[in-house]
Amino acid sequence: MISFVGLALLHLAGGLLRAAATRADWRQTLRSPASIWFALIALYALSLGLIGTVLGVALFIGLRSRLTVRFAPVEVAPPSALSPGAPWALALAVLILARPWVPTSWDEFVWLAKARLESLGFGTGARLALDASAHLVPSGYPPLWPAAVGWVSLGVDSLPAQVSAASLLVLMTLATAMEAWWPRLRSTPGWLVIAVLATPLFWVHARSTYVDLPLGLLAVALLGHVLAGELAAAVVLALVLSGLKDEGLAHVLATVGAVWLVSPRREWRQLTPAVAAVLAAAGWRAAAQFGGITNEDHTLSAPLWRWLPDLGRLLAFHASDLASWGVFWAIALAVGLRSTESSTRALRLGLLLNLTLSGAALLCGPEQVRVFAESGTLLNRLLMQWWPAAAVMVLLEGRRSAQAAAPR
């Protein structure tokens, strides 16, 4: 129960902070799933000490920026409008939380071991991540996810509490994505939702503490908020993404860039979330280098163009694996080729930009990263990160087709 109490306290703090920073109605912010990320990113900035001032400045600029002109016909759902989706949310919550309160996959041990560090004192995870002598695996990796797990479990050194805290955070990323897209998905046929959620690997990640699915869910939520001009929430989500995984910055750049490119009336303030994420990531990298940590997996060199056909072959091989994905990616590819609405075009372009950035990182990165891809430990994770945006794209197009076919 301690994790449920911690989640409630953080959500309360986030809702009040969001109301104070954005002058929104506190009753609405407390009903919004996205509010918890306001509290978590504020705690993250505090945990980083001196370098947290960079994150704090980026957060302050984003929260005080006003983007009042909405430039796309998509609006973020008011928190009270989420009630029609309550049955779906409740069913997903039961399925996600009905898991053993112990690690069930090998990578869970890594994330949960780092979450235990918060029981030694607030900010211990971030401090040791920047300490080369601590030998964390890997050193210098963004520490927000395990730190957030420790904060939700209120710093209690209990494995069941930490597993439940991580599962609750996975659930909150799903709720955040649902909130951002519910106005456009509320009339989607139930059979289509079930068909999309039948993707086998989705349930593996939904019922684990891996960060790939949460990363993708927050990225698609970010896209929804940027489309609607909700800059404060977008900046907070962009900062969260930059602190979750190294790939988080690529998601922010691809998402914000896609919306900016498809927008009929481009404003430079639309790029504020990307600028904030770049500042936060650069500050973290600088602190890691200052602490003597070198990230060999992220060193770049001239692109190895002869490996490009191998990348295409590996992507096709993993995406077509029926045991992992069913026929989801074949459907997503077909939908992506025919989608025409601004929101679906933004999703499609975001996926394409993300694929380009990830492909460039693999082609220009060190050999061991390509070995990870060839051994099967990398590309399915990237596909899982891209799955939420592709799923929303499929649902939007399916909803439009169903409405067009309905008798009038």
pLDDT in tens, 215-266: 999 999 999 999 888 888 999 999 999 999 989 999 999 999 999 999 887 7
CA distances from 312 to 110, 161, 306, 363 (A): 30, 41, 11, 12
Q: What is the DSSP letter of 297?
A: G
In 186-281, at which residue ranges do the beta strands (DSSP E only) sit?
A: none
Look-up of token digits 């994505």:
177
C-alpha angle with apex 347: 346 to 348, nearest 5 degrees?
90
Q: Which amino acid is it at 19?
A: A
What is residue 408's predicted lDDT score, i.e. its pLDDT? 56
Nearest residue to 397 via CA among 349, 344, 321, 323: 344
Q: How high is the pLDDT of residue 386?
A: 97
Neighbours of 285 (CB within 10 A): 17
Hey, what are 25's tokens? 């109605």
CB atoms within 10 A of CB 317: 11
- Two tokens, residue 288: 């890691």
Are the beta carbons of 231 and 272 closer than 8 angstroms? Answer: yes
**pLDDT lower than 70: segments of the chain:** 58, 61-86, 296-298, 403-408
Taking the C-alpha atoms of residue 54 and residue 48, their distance in angstroms, rounded to an integer, is: 10
Tokens, residue 302: 């001239």
pLDDT at position 64 is 64
Model pTM? 0.92
Residue 407 has a pLDDT of: 62
Q: What pLDDT is recorded for position 229? A: 80
pLDDT at 249: 95
Q: Please give the distance of CA 406 from its chain centroid, rounded to a whole number.
A: 35
CA 17 – CA 233 distance, rounded (Å): 12
DSSP notation for 227-249: HTT-HHHHHHHHHHHHHH-TTHH
Euclidean distance between CA atoms 143 and 130, whole angstroms: 10
Distance CA 181, CA 188 (A): 11
Check residue 82 and give its pLDDT. 41
Angle, alpha carbons 296-257-145 (nearest 5°): 50
Q: Could you tell me if 235 and 57 are in contact, meaning their C-beta atoms sit under 8 angstroms apart?
A: no
Q: Output the pLDDT for position 399.
A: 84
- Distance in angstroms (rounded) separating the CA atoms of residues 23 and 313: 51
Number of other CB atoms surrounding residue 309 within 10 Å = 9
Contacts of 190-195 with CB under 8 Å at 24 or more apart are 192/394, 192/395, 192/398, 192/399, 192/402, 193/88, 193/395
Alpha carbons 81 and 22: distance in angstroms, whole number = 20
Spell out the domain ranges in the chain.
2-294
Residue 208 — left, alpha, or beta (φ > 0 → left; ψ -120 to 50 → alpha)?
beta
Buried b / exposed e along 161-199 (16+ C-beta atoms within 10 A): bbbbbbbbbbbbbbbbbbbbbbbbbeebeeebbebbeeb
d(CA 56, CA 275): 13
